[in-house]
Amino acid sequence: MNKVVVGAQWGDEGKAKITDLLAQNADLIIRYQGGCNAGHTVVAHNKTFKFHLIPSGILYGGKTCFIGAGTVILPEYFDEEVQGLIKEGIDVSGLKVSPLASITMPYHTEVDGYSESTATKGKIGTTKKGIGPTYTDKMARIGLKIEDLFDDEALSEKLDIILPLKNKTLKEVYGLKTYTKEEITALCKKYAEIFRPYVCFDWQTILEDAKRANKAVLFEGAQGVMLDIDYGTYPFVTSSNPIGGGAATGSGYGPKMIDEVIGVAKAYVTRVGEGPFVTELTDKTGEKIREIGHEFGVTTGRPRRCGWFDAVTMRYAVLTGGLTSVALTKIDVFDNFEEIKVCTAYKDKRDGKIYKNYPTNVFMHKYLEPIYETHKGWMQDISGIKEYEKLPQNARNYIKRLEKLLEVPISIVSVGPDREQTIFVNPQ
């Protein structure tokens, strides 16, 4: 069974925990989009590991962890992450990088930083890791790929095309520093050494062999459906496709290689950065969720905005993300909540119009208010429970209600950050 793990909300849903769990039974783990904007936490053996680019399956050793063509890689960050793992004694011999992955150059991070710091209106609140500018160049066909680092002639030819254009924009549009061909060539030489042990020119054989031998492939998504460039709250999104379909374009395998798409969702909702968020709680309840759930960004340290579970966006995520089941995380955060709310529809304050389906024009979201139903809390610690039947009745009622609203099974319930704190519902 080949599975994709997809964030079903605005990122940070606990994807890495679920990926780590499923990686036990996978042979090949593939990151298919995004870059080091991702911050993925795995708690195992009383240790906390934080990943940005490297598939969390690396912790098992002996598994092939492939960073696919759909990703963007900031070389210095990649290097730092790999060295950190080596220092921890983790075996990184299974780590492979697609020669087709895009490289984030210094000018990409500089432009991202500039755009974010000078924007007054329309600020996205990016992670400033150069994600948008790298994908922009990729789509404009003026990006550099990992394979270019290993072909001096191709690199030289490409730089002759890219650099004059790039420098003109850097100088005239952004007022930023320009680069000489010598500078970039020297940098690329350094980058080549960073990637030399990991670049996988033989990736087609690896993918074909895994397919032929019917090996279990796990696709690890970053970000979440509501941050998807096509289906998210555009323009307050990232610049890639975190949806299930993204696994097919970003990995090198086609859609028929995917059997299941597991959407990871918190029992509530969080978001970092700007953009609409209809169920956001700016009051004491929001603060309580943030405090108990430790809702601070892994990559940027920013406090995450918190709110009630939003079944309207989540149903939209089930559809567009292609979800076949849901892993519900952080339900333990509600252990001390007398009441829990779930948004089942939106109401337009201007004319009372009810939206059961997610309205994609986000500029009218400021006029929307959530329609809630209220559920009784369970008021007990559930973080040590390992079987679904042992969960308090009110917790099961909450889970069953979400399942009914979403029309897909909730197959995993997570009650704490540790690998062990996981309940498989109806395990086969």
Cβ 62 to Mg ion, closest distance in Å? Answer: 26
Site residues for ligand IMO, 213-242, by CB under 6 A, read 222-224, 227, 238-239
> CB of residue 189 vs ligand IMO: minimum separation in angstroms?
27
Q: Measure the CA–CA gap between 419 and 305, rounded to whole angstroms.
A: 26
For the CB of residue 298, give the shortest distance to ligand IMO in the complex, in Å.
6
d(CA 409, CA 386): 18
DSSP state of 330: -
- Based on CB atoms, which residue is closest to ligand IMO, 21 or 385? 21
Q: Does 414 bind ligand GDP (CB under 6 A)?
A: yes
Confirm or reject binding of residue 243 to ligand IMO (CB under 6 A).
Answer: no
Residue for token pair 């996978």: 26
Q: Applying CB under 6 A, which part among 36-44, 176-184, 259-267, 344-352 lies near ligand IMO?
A: 36-44
CB of 236 to ligand IMO, least distance (A): 6
In this structure, are residues 20 and 42 in contact, taking their beta carbons and an 8 Å threshold?
yes
Tokens of 201: 């020119």
Task: Report the residue number, 58 or 192, with the smaller CB distance to ligand GDP.
Answer: 58
Stretch (H or E) spanning 30: strand 28-31
133, 111 Cβ separation under 8 angstroms: yes
Residues 283-312, interacting with Mg ion (CB under 5 A): 298
Strands (E), 282-394: 305-307, 309-310, 325-329, 339-348, 354-355, 368-376
Site mask, ligand IMO, residues 254-283, x = CB under 6 A?
------------------xx----------
Number of residues located near Mg ion, criterion CB under 5 A: 3
Positions annotated as catalytic residues are 12, 40
Tokens for 313, please give them. 């966006």
Q: Does 40 bind ligand IMO (CB under 6 A)?
A: yes
* Partner touching 98 among ligand IMO, Mg ion, ligand GDP, none, CB below 5 to 8 Å by kind: none
Residues 6+ apart with CB under 8 A from 118: none
How far is it, in rounded angstroms, from Cα 294 to Cα 14?
12
Spatial distance between the Cα atoms of 340 and 130, rounded to a whole number of angstroms: 38
| Minimum CB–partner distance for residue 40 and Mg ion (Å) | 6
Q: Which of residues 112-171 bind ligand IMO (CB under 6 A)?
A: 124-127, 129, 131-132
- Phi and psi of 3, rounded to 5°? -125, 145
Residues that bind ligand GDP (CB under 6 A): 7, 11-17, 39-41, 43, 298, 329-330, 332-333, 414-417
